[in-house]
Amino acid sequence: MLFPSDFLTRLEYLSIMSKRVFRGQLLAQRRTRQTGSGIEFSDHREYSPGEDLRYLDWNIYARHGDLLIRRFQEEQDLHVWLLLDCSRSMNFANGRKFELARQLTAALAWIALADLDRISVLACAAGVVQQFPLTRGRERILPLMQFLETLSADRHETRLQESVRQFLHRRPRPGIAVVLSDLFDPYGFETGLDQLRFSGFDLHVIQLHHPLDAEPGLLGDAEIVDLESGRILQTTITEQMLAQYRQLFQQHQLSVRQYCARYNLGCTQSSTKAEFDALVMAMMRQSATS
């Protein structure tokens, strides 16, 4: 069951934990840098003639005789974009990867909605195939969960670059972009992430893999069927090949970590053995300590 009965309870716990421990560190607790007509004092600046005298700080003028204008931080809603990989590779081994990705999407969305941020979920494969539009308010979590339940991972292969291109073509307001994928992109994952990064998004990558992705456990004659392309490789797998596979997989995981570290991006890599709430907690700890 994708969202069991205690799912919302666990989401609420995550929300409380995020406020107590990681306040100001994650998602909607952040503020924009724009100053404007907010109510929270930001700083002072010199008065220029013609400015609205309502913002003149008369107390300072009375004490020191300086004409200073009070500035306030303008509060804007934070936009959180959740890019969920719906390619066929996410459906590997009974779709456990896709199930965990959807649970994580729901959890992150709930935390954002609880902080009055706006969230949007984009189902991506070879492009953006479905979108849950921007929304805010905690009451929107149920429609979001219904949306996630309707999604299926049978959308061809992974093309993150094309998905990001289509996403940016809609001119989204910059905010936080969370990519949930296994990043098994035959065209490379770096280009898509680069585009998001260049567009001013605060990027966080969540890479999921199944244990069989790391350790196939195959020996002997076999037809290897690629879930995304349907391509078939007839071969005989030896221990030597398995060792090479393990090495290549670890290199791929390392390349993702190195990319994120290079550009100071959030990065979470996990096996599908983990539970979504434990994974979110780990993400929050990682953000708090970084």
Partner 1 sequence: MTFLVPTAFALAVIAIPITVLYILKLRMRQVHVSSDLFWQQIFTARPPRSFWSRFRHPLSWLAQLLILLAIVVAAADPRWNSTQTEQRLVLILDVSASMQASEPRGQRFELARTRALQIINGLPASAQAAVIAANHRPEILCSMTDHIPDLLRAVTSVGPSAAPGRPDLAVSIASSLLQETNAASILLLSDRCFDATSLPAEPRLTIETVGTPLPNIGIVGVQALRNSDDPLSAELLVAVRNASSLPAEAVLQLRMNETLSYVERLSLAPEETTSKTFPRIGPAGGIWQAELREIRFLQNAADTITSAPAATAPADALAIDNTAAAVLPAANRQTVRLISSNGYFVQKVLEADPLIDLQVQSAITESPANEPAQITILHELVPARLPAGPVIVLDPRGDCDAWALKETRQNPLPSPAVEAHPITRNFRLDDVLIPAATELEFRLPARVLAVAEDGLPLCVLLQRPTGPVLVVPLQLTQSDLAFRTVFPILISNTLRWFANTTHLTASALQAGQQIAVPLPSATFTQRTAAEADIQQVLLRSPAGRSELIPLVRTADGSAELRALTGPLCETGLWSVEPTGTLAGIGVPSKSAVTIAVNLASAAESDLRPPGPVSEPASADSRTPRSGSRPLWFWICCTAAFLLILEWFLYQRRWIT
Which residues here bind partner 1, judged by CB under 8 A? Answer: 89, 92, 97, 182, 184, 186, 209-210, 212-213, 216, 218, 221-229, 231-236, 238-241, 244-245, 248-249, 252
Coil vs helix vs strand at 136: strand
Strand partners for 27: none
Taking the complex as a whole, how short is the minimal distance between the CB of residue 265 and partner 1, in angstroms? 22
User: How far is residue 150's CA from residue 146's CA, in Å, rounded to a whole number?
Assistant: 6
Coil vs helix vs strand at 270: strand
Residue carrying structure tokens 């994120």: 260
b/e for 226-241, b at 16 or more Cβ within 10 A? ebbeeeeeeeebeeee
Tell me whether residue 43 or residue 215 sits nearer to partner 1 (CB atom). 215
Taking the complex as a whole, how short is the minimal distance between the CB of residue 193 and partner 1, in angstroms? 17
Taking the complex as a whole, how short is the minimal distance between the CB of residue 240 and partner 1, in angstroms? 7
Which residues have C-beta within 8 Å of that of residue 163, sequence separation ≥ 6?
83, 122, 124, 125, 126, 127, 128, 192
Sign of the four-CA dihedral 35, 40, 43, 49: positive
Report in angstroms the alpha-carbon separations of 136 from 29, 102, 142, 162: 14, 19, 12, 27
Taking the complex as a whole, how short is the minimal distance between the CB of residue 234 and partner 1, in angstroms? 6
User: How far is residue 263's CA from residue 177's CA, in Å, rounded to a whole number?
Assistant: 14
Report in angstroms the alpha-carbon separations of 211 from 97, 152, 271, 272, 274: 10, 21, 6, 7, 11
Taking the complex as a whole, how short is the minimal distance between the CB of residue 179 and partner 1, in angstroms? 17
Coil vs helix vs strand at 134: strand
Taking the complex as a whole, how short is the minimal distance between the CB of residue 163 and partner 1, in angstroms? 16
Taking the complex as a whole, how short is the minimal distance between the CB of residue 76 and partner 1, in angstroms? 39
DSSP state of 123: E
